[in-house]
Chains A and B, each alone.
Chain A
Amino acid sequence: MITKEATQVAPAPAAAVPEPPRPAKRHRAWDEVPRWQIYLPLGIYLLFTLIPFYWILLFALRPAGSTSLVPWPMTFEHFEKVWTERSFGTYFGNSVLVGLATLVMTTVVALAGGYALARFDFKIKRAFMLGLLCSQFVPGALLLVPLFEIFAELQMINSLGSVIIAETVFQLPLSMILISNFIKNVPTSLEEAAWVDGCDRFRAFRVIVLPLLRPGLIAVGSFAFVHSWNHFLFALMFLNNQDKQTIPVGLNTLMSADSVDLGALAAGGIIAAVPVVIVFAFIQKWLITGFSAGAVKG
């Protein structure tokens, strides 16, 4: 009784905090948007989004020469053909290797750098940050020639290492900015408490900070993986042997063949999409947090 009266009296002078009666009103405000104004545009956009996906499934699953709009009777001949005859099996393995190596390298290197940026003040920090920012304007595609020269000098042409390094380097700036923002969100006092308890810096980092960074690391790692999985020009330029090529290059070969085998192209496309779909299904819930903590705020 007393508290109720108190809360009713208190807001009057403040005027800005009339909390209690609000919730009902807030919901009304948001739900006021007529349902059709949500579902109609969303439905139209959904069609635009999904028809292309349906189309590629259709071509991948229906027999060659069929013009049916339903993939029935279903066949997997295109997948078999692409996997064995068009060496997508090999490409797939190479892409997995490149993707995982890029993921590990990007995460580890960006974690170290991100920690330094988040927790220390040092002389070249401003210059370093400026460098990170500027590198966002450097198009990888336009650096193909000098990069080719460097890898030729290092005897790394035709080795997956060249692609892994190039992908990592172009992932680093954004990853580092993201990770350092994540680390900044972890209160320094947590670490300091661990130091007082006798932990050295590395142990305190490993035990206290690292577990809290997991969502951020997952977001950064999956971006690195998906990016390197999808990227095309570095592999096209630095890898000449067919048995070293990656999936996107394989797709491009299927597209630029004299007579395009649409079934094979569709099946190849689906093979290319599978790992990405798995990764995104797995990290959906961290994606938006990852972005809002890093890219936009930073």
Chain B
Amino acid sequence: MAQAAAVAKPPAPPRRRRASATPRRLPYLLIAPAGLLMLGFIAYPVISVFYYSLQEYNPTKPWRNGYAGFDNFVHIFTEDPQFWGTLVFSAKWVFVEVGLQLLFGLALALIVNQTFVGRAIGRALVFSPWAVSGVLTSAIWVLLYNSQTGVSRYLADLGIGSYGTSWLSDTATVFPAAVVADLWRGVPFFAILILADLQSVSKDLYEAAEVDGAGRFQQFWHITLPHLKDAIILSTLLRAVWEFNNVDLLYTLTGGGPAGETTTLPLYIANTSIDAHDFGYASALTTVAFVILLFCSIVYLRLSKFGGENK
């Protein structure tokens, strides 16, 4: 046995040859299913979106279909005020949502990271909306905001506001109403990501800081925040992309209304393709959305110097 252990190195080559009768091919075989699925159902569709964006393509008006060059793009940038409206709303939506989610999520994570009686149940309860889907979130908040039997009715009973108010059909209140509904579900997600990373902060650092006389705020500023930096940058980016792309909530909560007031660019694209069947134009809009998303992500990663010290 001792001999075998001593010569463990030399026999390695023959073993390698034998153990993998398919040495070269095995990793390719293993990634093949995933690779093929992604090529077929992500890469190919992405390419065909670029292709369709140069076409006039509308199944309901087949006589007009054909190569259109950059007409779709010209139309987007010069003749489509709705595009600019949705772009502005998208920016506003992502900025407000992600900003507030980061703020509340961080606070929530810091709180439930403390030791206190009832922590496990407290965590489970405050994180629970995270599991709720976009459509279900909409359903819940449609009930809360309903003009007849929603919260406003009971507030009116208490003398706050008036009967028959529906916050979702008033252009003045629809934005905050939608933001609150999405926060309800989004904050826990952020909090979970941050909490996961918080737990890997070494307690020794805090002790050392304590010895040096650092207060709680200083500890947060100089230890916790720098440690969380990468996680915050990454989750903020993922969240921003996700909030930008996500259509479920607004589609079902407001339908983009009232008066197009809450239509994000992706929602506009979905409406253009699902309802108007204007596939060519929707593809051009999609291409524009891609470019914007990619550009913003790169700028964001550059500005935040993500992973700069590691690699």
Chain A residues proximal to chain B, CB less than 8 Å: 22, 25-26, 29-33, 35, 38-39, 41-42, 45-46, 48-53, 55-56, 59, 67, 69, 109-110, 112-113, 115-117, 119-120, 122, 124-125, 128, 131-132, 135-147, 149-150, 165-166, 168-170, 172-173, 176, 195-196, 200-201, 226, 229-233, 236-237, 248, 251-252, 254-256, 260, 262, 265-266, 268-269, 272-273, 276-277, 279-280, 284, 287-288, 291-292, 295-296
Contact = CB atoms under 8 A, between A and B. Distances in A.
A85 to B, nearest CB: 18
A33 B217 CA distance: 11
B35 A128 contact: yes
A172 B39 CA distance: 12
Contacts of B143: 55-56, 59, 262, 265-266
B63 interface: no
Chain A to chain B: the 8 pairs with minimum beta-carbon distance, closest first: A230-B133, A139-B245, A146-B45, A116-B30, A120-B27, A113-B34, A292-B196, A116-B27
B216 A46 contact: no
Contacts of B256: none
Task: Sort chain B's interface into a size bin.
Answer: 35 or more
A176 to B, nearest CB: 6
Contacts of B133: 229-232, 248, 272, 276
Most buried by A among B112, B140, B274, B282: B140
A269 B139 contact: yes
B234 interface: yes
Contact of B28 (A51, A122, A141, A280): A122
Contacts of B244: 139
A56 B116 CA distance: 30
Nearest to B249: A232
Interface stretch (B75-83, B93-101, B169-177, B286-294): B286-294
A145 B283 contact: yes
B26 interface: yes
B234 A296 contact: yes
Nearest to B139: A269
Contacts of A268: 139
Given A22-B207, A173-B38, A232 B139 contact: no
Contacts of A149: 48
A120 B248 contact: no
Interface string B103-145: 0100110011011100000101110110111111011111110
A interface: dominant SS: helix
B68 interface: no
Contacts of B116: 35, 38-39
B154 interface: yes
Contact of A248 (B45, B129, B136, B247): B136
Contact of B31 (A41, A128, A265): A128
Nearest to A141: B247
B245 A288 contact: no
Contacts of B200: 292
Interface string B269-311: 1100110000100110010011001100100000000000000
Contacts of A48: 184
Given A56-B143, A116-B28, A232-B135, 19 more contacts: A42-B122, A55-B144, A67-B149, A113-B34, A116-B26, A116-B31, A124-B28, A141-B269, A143-B46, A145-B52, A172-B37, A172-B38, A233-B248, A236-B274, A248-B135, A256-B255, A268-B139, A272-B133, A288-B195
